[in-house]
Amino acid sequence: MKFILHATPEITPKPLIAEVILETGTLLNIDRADVKSSGGEVIIDVHQDRYNIVTAAFKKRGATITPLEQPIIKDDDECVNCGACISVCPTGVISFNDDWTVQMEIAKCVQCGACVIMCPQGALKVSK
């Protein structure tokens, strides 16, 4: 399961992620990290069995957690099933069904935004 870790400037300098990995003994996958002076935003992927333990450990350290259930949103009214978005996706989220409609395995999305730029119909959005 994926979630967004929001960290305020006060806690960003701390080795938050390393601490949580050590404390919970859980492997975390960092899909994307965006750290600015105004704080940090990291997308983390963790096995669903460990989701509660890991998010609790982050919360204890003052971070805010937003679950990322829909990392990428497709507007089906806008989508023409052209498939232009398929080849730019680095993690193979998008593919054709047998009937040439487009399907998305959204759990694999790392919110890189490449497909959003590619889509000629403006049908895709990464959720915030």
Partner 1 sequence: MSKKTIQDINARITDGSVHVVTAEEMPGIVAELGADGAAREVDIVTTGTFGAMCSSGAFLNLGHSDPPIKMQKVWFNDVEAYTGLAAIDAYMGATQLSESRGMEYGGGHVIEDLVAGRSVDIHATAYGTDCYPRKLLDTTVTIDDINQATMLNPRNGYQKYNVATNCSDRTLYTYMGTLLPDCGNATYSAAGVLSPLYNDPTYQTIGVGSRIFLSGAQGYITGQGTQHDPTNNFATIMVQGDMKRMNKKYVRGATFHGYGTSLYVGIGIPIPILNADIAQATAITDADITTNVLDYGVARRSRPILRKVTYEELKSGMIDINGKEVTTSPMSSFHDARAIAEELKDWIKKGEFYPTLPVENLPNTGVVFKPMKQMGEQPTVADVMAQRVTTIRQGLTVEDAARAITEGNFNHLPVVSDEDKLVGIITAWDIAKAVAKSKRDKLDDIMTRNVVTADTSEPVDTAARKLELHNISAMPVVNKHSKVVGIITSDDISKLVARR
Report whether 4 contacts 65 (CB < 8 A). Answer: yes
With beta carbons less than 8 A apart as the criterion, state whether 119 and 104 touch: no
Judged by beta carbon distances under 5 to 8 A according to partner kind, the member of partner 1, ligand SF4, none in contact with residue 62 is: none
Q: How far, in Å, CA of 98 to CA of 78, rounded?
A: 20
* Residue 11 or 82 having the CB closest to partner 1: 82
- Of 94-123, binders to ligand SF4 (CB under 6 A) are 94, 102, 109-115, 118-119, 121, 123
- Give the footprint of ligand SF4 on residues 10-39 (CB under 6 A): none
- What is the smallest separation between the CB atom of 125 and ligand SF4, expressed in angstroms? 10
Chain position carrying tokens 């333990």: 53
Among 83, 106, 126, 127, the residue binding partner 1 under the rule CB under 8 A is 83
Binding partner of 117, given partner 1, ligand SF4, none, CB within 5-8 angstroms per partner class? partner 1
- CA–CA dist 60, 64 (Å, integer): 9
Q: List the single partner that 44 binds among ligand SF4, partner 1, none, CB under 5 to 8 Å by kind.
A: none
* Residues whose CB falls within 8 Å of the CB of residue 15, separated by 6 or more in sequence, listed in order: none
